[in-house]
Each structure stands twice: as C-alpha cells, then as structure tokens.
Amino acid sequence: MKKALAIVMLLVIVVASMSIFVACDKKNGNAANFEVPVGGYDGSEITLRFYHTMGSNLTDVLNRYIESFNVLYPNIHIQHEQVGGYDDVRDKISTELTANNQPNLAYCYPDHVALYNMAKAVVQLDNLIDSKETVTRADGTTESLGLTQEQKDDFIKGYYEEGQQFGDEFMYTMPFSKSTEVLYYNKTFFDENNLTVPQTWDELEAVCRQIKQIDPNSIPLGYDSEANWFITMCEQLQSPYTSADESEHFLFNNQTNKDFVNRIRGWYNDGLVTTQTIYGAYTSGLFTDLTATSRSYMSIGSSAGATHQRPAKGEDGNYPFEVGIATIPQANVNNKKVISQGPSICIFNKSNKQEVVASWLFVKYLTTSVEFQAEFSMASGYVPVLKSVADNPVYSAFLNKADGGNNVAALSAKICMQQQDAYYTSPAFNGSSKARDEVGALLVKCLKGETDIDTAFKEALDECEYFVS
C-alpha cells in the first residue's frame, strides 16, 4: 500500500510540473481529445519508445512486424523494451512521468491508465480513431489515419470497449492481446462417470457433490483468482461492484454480494472448492497431479495458461487424461459474463504531435493486422482481439487441431473465440486496483472463517475508502 501511495503522490506532483501543454475538456477535466495535425503524419524522422512484457519468443514476432511496418513508414523507428511484469511497466512509467521522460507507448491495464491520467498523461484516442486524414506511405499507397467502420466492427466488442471504461466515455487504450478465464475439467474422468459439464453455478455445486461421492478425498474445484471470482459474480448477478463516478467508487458492500460469498463459504466448508491463496499455489497443481491426496477434477484459471492445466505425459508417452475446456459457470445462461484480461496499449502525450501520430500508426498497424494478431496469439497463448482472425487460414488450421492433449492451447483459444459476446471489464479509476485486491482478500477471509461476512465487507470497504482519501 505504501508503494501505491508513493506512486500516487509522484503523479500528483507531475500534474503541476509536466512541461507538456494539455488542454482540458469541460466535462470532467481530463486531457482533451488529441488535436490531429492537418495531413496526419508528415513523414518526419521519429523514434518511438515502447515498453512491454514480452519474452524472446514474442519479441521475435514483434520484430518481424516492425520490419513490415518500416517498409511502409521507414522514418518511424521503434525502440522496444521488455520491462519485467505489468506492474513493473507501471512503476517505471510512473517514475519517468515526474521527469517528463515517459515512453511513447506501453502495455497497460485499465488501473494503470487511471493512475497515469492523474497527470493527464495518456492521449485520448477518439480524434485519431475517427480521423479522415489520408496518410501516404513510402511505397506511394495511402491509408486513412483513422479506423474504418469495418475495422472498428472487427474488434471483439468487450475487448474494444475496455478502452472506454474510465468514466468519461473517451477512448484511452486499444486492445492488444487478451485472455480470460475458462473451466478446465478432466474429460476422461467426466466421461467415465457420466458427469455433465456444468453451465451454471447450481450445476457446478451438484457436480462437485457427485465428484465428492466418487472420490471423498478430492477437492472437486480449484479457482485460481479470488478477485476474479468475486467480480465475475457481481457481473453475472448484476450486483454493484465499483463505479468510475467520483461521488461513490466502491459499491460492493451489499446483501447480494454477501449472499454469494456465504454460499461459496458453504462449498468450501464442505470440501468442494479451494482457491490459489488458500492452496498456496496455482490450483492447476491439484488438477494435474495424479499423486495428490486431495486432487481436483475441475480448475478455473487463465485461458493463456492452458498448457499448465495439462498433465505430464506418462512413461508410455501418453497423457494420463484428456483435458476438456468450457466457459465458466454462469448465474444466468441468458446473461453470460466472462472477465476480459490481458494487455492493452496506450499512447502518451508528447509535445511533438508527430510522435503521437506515429505512435498511433504503429498501434493501428498491430491491432488491426489479422496476420500479426494470428501469429502473436499462436506464439503467446493469448487470444486475438479481432473477430476475422478466426477466418485466417493459418489460424483456422491452428484451431482445427484443437484437442485436450498436444493442442490444448488451441482448444482454449477456440473456446475464447466462441464466447466473445460475454466479455466484460470493470470501471477503471484511481483505486480500482485496490478494490480488486480487497474483494479478493475478503473472499479468502470469509472462506477460511477468519472473520464474519459483515465485518469482512466493512473492513474491505474501509480500506478502499482510506486508500483514495
């Protein structure tokens, strides 16, 4: 908490000290829409710094597409840097903002952008997205600086709308590559015991009790992220969680949420479920370890971690069981909600407008390229942000190989593409990450019986309100 408060204090100082001139809109005081220069990009020499978290396998993909981009725009030079994990990117940028030395573009999560925007540091993209300026490439061809309607419509809706979750309806980020949560299950065990894959939480409870009868030592379900579980239940039940409205951010202390936490606590007390914090590691360990005394037969975790949910091959060279993958259970199958995760990309304000335009051209190139999205997805385990990638011959062949063994990553991606209408994101504001941390901790306390539910909710709310006070 001290680290987070220190970052906030740094950014507050930046508001007064940044040398960039940033206009403000009348609606809420955030940085005004970027003013697109006439003609868009003028062809000048520009060097852009890009912070991300990619490993070598992904930077190899990125470098190939930078070369393709430079065929079109040889004077835009991309210097990219792997900066640890997502929070490391946030911390480095927060420090650099105090010296007006921030990069041009970076991987981001919504709460990072909310933090940067305390310093009015992130470009509002709406005027760039809607720009009618025509840009001439090095080969003499032209493109619209903005997005065509077809390009806008090609984005998976939930991923695209994440960029507008900041309370003012403006667009601050573009989706880069995404993941979600899926239900992994031991298909071999389910088939042998005539078990039905649960589509609702009621069905999940029933299946867990069936599994407990078959294997009394089991913990039928492991759920990796307590925070995701809590927030997703709020979305599925249409119960308040948080709001970007400054008058009242934290709304999760209500009876509907207490009731579902109480229900999950009952499941925990009956030995039906565990979570990452309680187990002490990713619950995929319970799912894949056949020697574990208390093994599980279902696991809810990241779609990007599919290979970690697959057991090691036996001495015969075969997998000991086939992995099945499905959408996570729902409170109401007519109101499906599944969390949207994974990095987006934001552009930072610069005094040289050509740097901003050049950054946008590069972001647009990567996020609207079907070929890049397909190749990056196959290399990373994340899912593409464009619907049309499913029709790409290479990616389509990848999905067609999907199975519960060697090609489990393709199976995970296939399920993610099928549930594209269910994705949601939570409001982003300074303190939204604190709310996430607190509701996750709240759920753990309640499951373990460390405090009563009313007290746990009140303490979580008090921590959130203190954080932003």
Answer yes or no: is pLDDT of 5 > 70.
no
Angle, vertex CA 430, rays to CA 429 and CA 431, nearest 5: 100
Helix, strand, coil shares of the chain, percent, nearest 5, are: 50, 15, 40
Higher pLDDT, 121 or 13: 121
Backbone angles phi, psi at 298, to 5 degrees: -140, 150
Cα–Cα separations (whole angstroms), residue 17 to 10, 134, 351: 10, 35, 14
Q: What number is the average pLDDT over the span 213-219?
A: 97
Express each pLDDT in 307-319 by its tens digit: 999 999 999 999 9
Q: What is the pTM of this model?
A: 0.91
Tell me what pLDDT residue 23 has.
Answer: 40
Answer yes or no: is pLDDT of 293 > 90.
no
Tell me what pLDDT residue 31 has.
Answer: 53
The mean of the pLDDT values for the chain is 92
Tell me what pLDDT residue 34 has.
Answer: 92
Nearest of 167, 172, 114 to residue 433 by alpha carbon: 114
Q: What number is the average pLDDT over the span 99-109?
A: 96
Answer yes or no: is pLDDT of 51 > 80.
yes
Express each pLDDT in 381-420 by its tens digit: 999 999 999 999 999 999 999 999 999 999 999 999 999 9
Answer yes or no: is pLDDT of 25 > 80.
no
Tell me what pLDDT residue 8 has.
Answer: 45
Answer yes or no: is pLDDT of 22 > 70.
no
Tell me what pLDDT residue 245 has.
Answer: 85
Answer yes or no: is pLDDT of 459 > 70.
yes
DSSP 250: B
Question: What is the distance between the alpha carbons of residues 82 and 89, in angstroms, rounded to a whole number?
Answer: 9
- How many CB atoms lie under 10 A from the CB of residue 271? 15
Nearest of 185, 202, 157, 198 to residue 387 by alpha carbon: 157
Angle, vertex CA 266, rays to CA 329 and CA 250, nearest 5: 70
Q: What percent of the chain has pLDDT over 90?
A: 89
Q: What number is the average pLDDT over the span 226-241?
A: 98
Reading the block at residue 259, the tokens are 């009731």
Confidence at 173, pLDDT banded by 50, 70, 90? very high
Answer yes or no: is pLDDT of 331 > 60.
yes
Give the type of residue at 140. Answer: G
Angle, vertex CA 267, rays to CA 266 and CA 271, nearest 5: 115
Cα–Cα separations (whole angstroms), residue 95 to 19, 37, 99: 15, 29, 8
Give the type of residue at 195. Answer: L
Nearest of 49, 33, 31, 245 to residue 117 by alpha carbon: 31
Confidence at 64, pLDDT banded by 50, 70, 90? very high
E strand or H helix at 347: strand 344-347
Nearest of 98, 134, 7 to residue 433 by alpha carbon: 7
Q: What number is the average pLDDT over the span 215-241?
A: 98
